[in-house]
Chains A and B, each alone.
Chain A
Amino acid sequence: GGSDDGESNGDTGNGEFEEQSWQFVTEELQGEVQYEYAAEFANRISEKTDGAITVEPLEFGALGSEVDQAQLLQQGGVELAVMSPGFTGNQVQDGQIFSLHYFFPSDQEQVQEVLTNSEALNQDLRAKYEEHGISPLSYWTEGAMAWSSNAGIESPDDWSGLNIRVQESPLMRETYAAYGATVQSLSWDELYTALDRGTVDAQENPIFFIQSASFHEVQNTVTVSNHNNYVAMTTVNTDWYNGLDDNVKEVVDETVAEMQDWVFEEQTAQNQEGINAIEADTDNPTEIIELTDEQIEEFREVAEPVHQYYRDEVSDIDQDIFDKLQEEIADVMGE
C-alpha cells in the first residue's frame, strides 16, 4: 500500500475515533460478492472503532450506472467503492490488462498472490488511478471467467464462426478474432433472450454470475476456461483518504489487507455453489467442461500474440507496467 507514516501514533484499538459515517457503493446486489464484501468491511470497521464509524454498503443501481459510480467517487459523493477496472477502463486504459486472455495464471491461488503482492498493480497502476482522484487500496478476484455456449468450447478451433457477446472494445475484438470468433455488441438486458434464441452463441462471466443470471438455463455447456479473472478493486476517493486522521487511515488499511483472504474464500465458496447449483438443475442439463493443462496451453499459444498487440498497439498503455507485471507473474508461476 501507499502511505505508512501513520504507525508512529499507535493508538488504534481503544483509541478515540470521531463519529463518522461513510458510504460504500458496489456494482452488485445484496448476496453477490461485492456487496457482501462491503457489508463485511462495514462490520469490521464498526467493530474496530467501537461503533464510532459506520459504513453503509450500497447496492448497484441506487446511484446510477457503473460509470456514474466511478464519477461519484471521484467527486466525493461517496467515500468508498468497489469497481471493476473494466468499467473505469475508459479513464485509465491500463485497467484493460486484466481482460487479456491467459496473461494471469489460471490457478486461482496464484492469481490471488499476484493481485495482493504485485508492485506493478499496487504501486504503479495505483498511481495512474490517483491521477484521476481514485485510490485502489486492493485488487481481488471475484472468480475466473468461464464461457457458456451450446458449442462446448474445448479448443481454440471450437470458436470458429461463433458470435460472442462481451463488453465491446478493440482489445476484445482482437482477442476473439484470434480464436476465429466474432464479438457482437448487445445490451446486457437482452443477453438472456439472445442466448436462448441463438441471436448470439456464447458469453463470458464468472460461474457464480452465470448461475445467478440463469444463463445456464439457455446454454448446453459451461467451460471452466480460467482465461482471465473478474477483477474488482477496493477504491477510495484520494483526497478524502489523504485527509483521514492517521489512526483512521491505519484501520482502513488494516481492514483492506485482512479482507483479501476473506474475499478469496467468499468468492471460492460462491463460485463452488454456482457450479453445484448448475449441476443440480436437472431440468436444464448443462455440461461442465474442465480444461486440461494441455488444452489451456493450446489457448495460451493463440492468445499470446494479443498480449503483444495490447502492449504495442492499444493507445495510452504504460508498457513499463505491462513488463513489470509480466515478470511478477512469471515469478509466481515459477517459470
Chain B
Amino acid sequence: MLATLLSIMIVLLFLNFPMMIPLMLAPVVVMLIFNPNLNMDLLMGQLLTGISSSVLLCVPLFIFAADIMTSGKTSNRLLDFIGSFIGHIRGGYAVTTAAACSVFGAISGSTQAAVVAIGRPMRDRMLKAGYKDSSAIALIINASDVALLIPPSIGMIIYALAAGSGVSVGDLFIAGIIPGIMVFLAFAIYSVIYAKAKDIPLAERQGWGERWKFFRKALLPLAFPVIIVGGIYTGIFSPVEASGIAVLYAFILEVFIFRTIPLKKIPSIALSTGLVTSAVFVLVAGGQLFSWVLGYARIPQQISEAVLGTDPSAIYVLIVVSIFFFIGCMFVDPIVVILVLTPIFIPAAETAGVDLIHLGIIITFQAALGSATPPFGVDIFTASAVFNKPYLEVIRSTPPYILILLLIGVLLIFFPQLSLVLIN
C-alpha cells in the first residue's frame, strides 16, 4: 500500500504534474484499491479540514504584506541604509546582501519573496562591484533561506499545523531568531574571506551625513520587525493578528506615507497574493488528504519503527529527521514535505523527549537548506527564472554555502539551547 502510494506520487511528480495532482490522486487511488468500502466523503472532508486551521491565515497575510512592500520601495530603502554603513568594508556588498536578506526575511515569510525583493537590486550592485555572477546568485539564494528562519516564517506555520495542538507558532518564531542570526554571521564572515581571496575592490566609504539620510528613509521599514516580533512577544497580538498588523503597516507606509503605490493598485496586488495563496493552500488541503490516508493505514507507526526502532535517543531522532527533510526538500516543495513527514516523526520525537519547538527549528532549517540544494531545490529554479540564468550557472558557486549551512545544522542538533534559550 505504501509502495503504491509512493510510486504514484513519485512518478507523477517527476513527470512535471502540478504537485496537487499526485498529492490527491495517490491517496484517492490507494483508498479505492485497499479500502473500497470506505466512503469517499470522509476523504473529501479532509480537504476542508486541511485549510481550516486559523493559524494558516498568517500565510496569505504575511505574503500580502511582503507583496505590498515589494511593489513599493521598501527593499531599496533597506539596501541603501545597510550599504551606507558596511558597503565600504572588505566584502561589503556581499555582507550587505546577507544583511538585507535577513532584514527582509523578518518582513516576509518566504525565501522566494526575498530572492525577488533583495536579490534583484543587489545582484546588479554586486556585478558592478566586480563579483562573478554565479557567486552573487549563490549568496542571494542561500541568504534568502534566512527568511524561513527569522519570524515570520511560512515553514514554521505549516510545521505548527502539522505537529498538532500544543506547538505555538509564536514560540517557534522566537526560537528561530538565534539560528537566523547565526546563518547571517556565518555568511558575512565567509563573504569577507572570499572578497579578500578574490581581491574584490572596495567601495567608497559614506559620510555620516549620507548615512543619516539613508537611515531616516529606512526608519519606518526598519520598525516592521520590531512591531511584529515585539507585538507577539509582549502579547498585544497573536501571530495571526501580527500578520494582519503587518498588512496594515505596509499599506499605510506605501500608500499614505511614501505614496509609492496608488490605492487603486491594491486589488491587483491582492490578486497576486490570492493566486499564490490558492496554489499553496491546494497543497495544504491535499497534504491533509495524504496524511489522513497515511494515518488511517497506520503507516507513520510502521515507518517510524522501521527507521527509528522502538527506543531511539533524542539525538538519533533529530539526525534521522534532518536527513529525511533535507533530502525531501531537495526534490519536493517544502510545504508538502513538512505536511507529509512531520506527523510521521512526531510520536517518536515525543517518546524520545525531543522538545517540539526544537524539532520545529531543525525541520524548518533543513527545509530551507534542502530547497537551496541541487539538484532540484525550488529556490534554484526561482533564481533561474528571476535572473534568467541557466541552471548550471545558478548552482556553480553554492557548495561552500551548503557546507556552512550543514555545519550550522549540526550545531542546532547538538545544542538545543540555541533554539530554546529565548523562549525559556
* A–B interface present (Cβ within 8 A): yes
> What residues make up the interface of A, taking CB atoms closer than 8 Å to B?
61-65, 67-68, 71-72, 75-77, 186-190, 192-194, 196-199, 213
The answer, among A68, A190, A197, for a CB contact under 8 Å with B46, is A68
B170 touches A193 (CB 8 A): yes
Asked if B167 is at the interface (CB within 8 A of a chain A CB), the reply is: yes
A72 touches B42 (CB 8 A): yes
A194 touches B235 (CB 8 A): yes
The answer to whether residues A187 and B55 also contact, given A61-B164, A68-B42, A193-B168 and a CB cut-off of 8 A, is yes
Given contacts A68-B42, A190-B169, A213-B166, 9 further A-B contacts (CB under 8 A): A63-B295, A67-B49, A76-B39, A77-B42, A187-B240, A190-B170, A193-B235, A196-B235, A197-B236
A63 touches B292 (CB 8 A): yes
B49 touches A64 (CB 8 A): yes
Asked if B85 is at the interface (CB within 8 A of a chain A CB), the reply is: no
CA distance A198 to B235 in the complex (A): 6
**From residue 2 to 44 of chain B, which have CB atoms closer than 8 A to chain A?**
38-39, 41-42
A199 touches B236 (CB 8 A): yes
- Which 5 pairs across A and B sit closest by C-beta, in order of nearness? A197-B235, A187-B54, A75-B39, A190-B238, A193-B170
CA distance A197 to B52 in the complex (A): 25
CB distance from B161 to the nearest CB of A (A): 9
A194 touches B238 (CB 8 A): yes
CB distance from B202 to the nearest CB of A (A): 46
The answer, among A62, A64, A190, A194, for a CB contact under 8 Å with B55, is A190
The answer to whether residues A77 and B38 also contact, given A186-B238, A190-B169 and a CB cut-off of 8 A, is yes
> Which residue of the partner chain B has the closest CB to A196?
B235
Asked if B388 is at the interface (CB within 8 A of a chain A CB), the reply is: no
User: Which A residues are CB-close (under 8 A) to B133?
Assistant: none
The answer, among B49, B169, B238, for a CB contact under 8 Å with A65, is B49
B54 touches A75 (CB 8 A): no
CB distance from A166 to the nearest CB of B (A): 15
User: Which B residues are CB-close (under 8 A) to A62?
Assistant: 295-296
User: Which A residues are CB-close (under 8 A) to B288?
Assistant: 64
User: Which B residues are CB-close (under 8 A) to A63?
Assistant: 292, 295-296
The answer, among B38, B49, B52, B165, for a CB contact under 8 Å with A189, is B165
CA distance A62 to B344 in the complex (A): 11
User: Which A residues are CB-close (under 8 A) to B167?
Assistant: 189
A197 touches B168 (CB 8 A): no
CB distance from B292 to the nearest CB of A (A): 6
User: Which B residues are CB-close (under 8 A) to A75?
Assistant: 39, 41-42
CB distance from B290 to the nearest CB of A (A): 13
28 pairs, A vs B, C-beta closer than 8 Å = A61-B164, A62-B295, A62-B296, A64-B45, A64-B292, A65-B49, A65-B52, A67-B45, A67-B49, A68-B45, A72-B42, A76-B39, A187-B53, A187-B54, A189-B53, A189-B160, A189-B165, A189-B168, A189-B169, A190-B168, A190-B170, A190-B238, A194-B238, A196-B235, A197-B234, A198-B235, A199-B237, A199-B238
CA distance A71 to B40 in the complex (A): 12
> Which residue of the partner chain B has the closest CB to A72?
B42
**From residue 25 to 80 of chain B, which have CB atoms closer than 8 A to chain A?**
38-39, 41-42, 45-46, 49, 52-55
**From residue 335 to 383 of chain B, which have CB atoms closer than 8 A to chain A?**
none
User: Which B residues are CB-close (under 8 A) to A187?
Assistant: 53-55, 238, 240
User: Which A residues are CB-close (under 8 A) to B54?
Assistant: 187
User: Which A residues are CB-close (under 8 A) to B38?
Assistant: 77
CA distance A199 to B170 in the complex (A): 13
User: Which B residues are CB-close (under 8 A) to A190?
Assistant: 55, 168-170, 238-240
CB distance from A296 to the nearest CB of B (A): 32
B49 touches A193 (CB 8 A): no
CA distance A180 to B53 in the complex (A): 29
User: Which A residues are CB-close (under 8 A) to B170?
Assistant: 190, 193
CB distance from A165 to the nearest CB of B (A): 11
User: Which A residues are CB-close (under 8 A) to B165?
Assistant: 188-189
The answer, among A68, A188, A197, for a CB contact under 8 Å with B49, is A68
User: Which A residues are CB-close (under 8 A) to B45?
Assistant: 64, 67-68, 71
Indicate with 1 or 0, residue by residue over B151-187, a CB within 8 angstroms of chain A CB atoms: 0000000001000111111110000000000000000
> Which residue of the partner chain A has the closest CB to B296?
A63
CA distance A189 to B41 in the complex (A): 27
> Which residue of the partner chain A has the closest CB to B52?
A65
CB distance from A233 to the nearest CB of B (A): 21
> Which residue of the partner chain B has the closest CB to A75?
B39
User: Which A residues are CB-close (under 8 A) to B49?
Assistant: 64-65, 67-68
CA distance A153 to B235 in the complex (A): 22
Most buried by B among A75, A189, A213: A189
User: Which B residues are CB-close (under 8 A) to A77?
Assistant: 38-39, 42
CB distance from A144 to the nearest CB of B (A): 23
> Which residue of the partner chain B has the closest CB to A187?
B54
CA distance A250 to B342 in the complex (A): 42
CB distance from B152 to the nearest CB of A (A): 14
CB distance from A238 to the nearest CB of B (A): 15
Indicate with 1 or 0, residue by residue over B201-242, a CB within 8 angstroms of chain A CB atoms: 000000000000000000000000000000001111111100
User: Which B residues are CB-close (under 8 A) to A67?
Assistant: 45, 49
> Which residue of the partner chain A has the closest CB to B170?
A193
User: Which B residues are CB-close (under 8 A) to A71?
Assistant: 41-42, 45
CA distance A63 to B294 in the complex (A): 10
**From residue 275 to 320 of chain B, which have CB atoms closer than 8 A to chain A?**
288, 292, 295-296
> Which residue of the partner chain B has the closest CB to A192?
B168
User: Which A residues are CB-close (under 8 A) to B235?
Assistant: 193-194, 196-199
CA distance A172 to B55 in the complex (A): 22
> Which residue of the partner chain B has the closest CB to A188?
B165
> Which residue of the partner chain B has the closest CB to A190?
B238
User: Which B residues are CB-close (under 8 A) to A193?
Assistant: 168, 170-171, 235, 238
User: Which A residues are CB-close (under 8 A) to B53?
Assistant: 187, 189
CB distance from B23 to the nearest CB of A (A): 17
> Which residue of the partner chain A has the closest CB to B160?
A189
CB distance from A239 to the nearest CB of B (A): 12
CA distance A237 to B309 in the complex (A): 36
CB distance from B419 to the nearest CB of A (A): 17
CA distance A213 to B160 in the complex (A): 16
CA distance A72 to B168 in the complex (A): 28
User: Which A residues are CB-close (under 8 A) to B234?
Assistant: 197
User: Which B residues are CB-close (under 8 A) to A68?
Assistant: 42, 45-46, 49
CA distance A192 to B423 in the complex (A): 13
> Which residue of the partner chain A has the closest CB to B236?
A199
User: Which A residues are CB-close (under 8 A) to B41?
Assistant: 71, 75
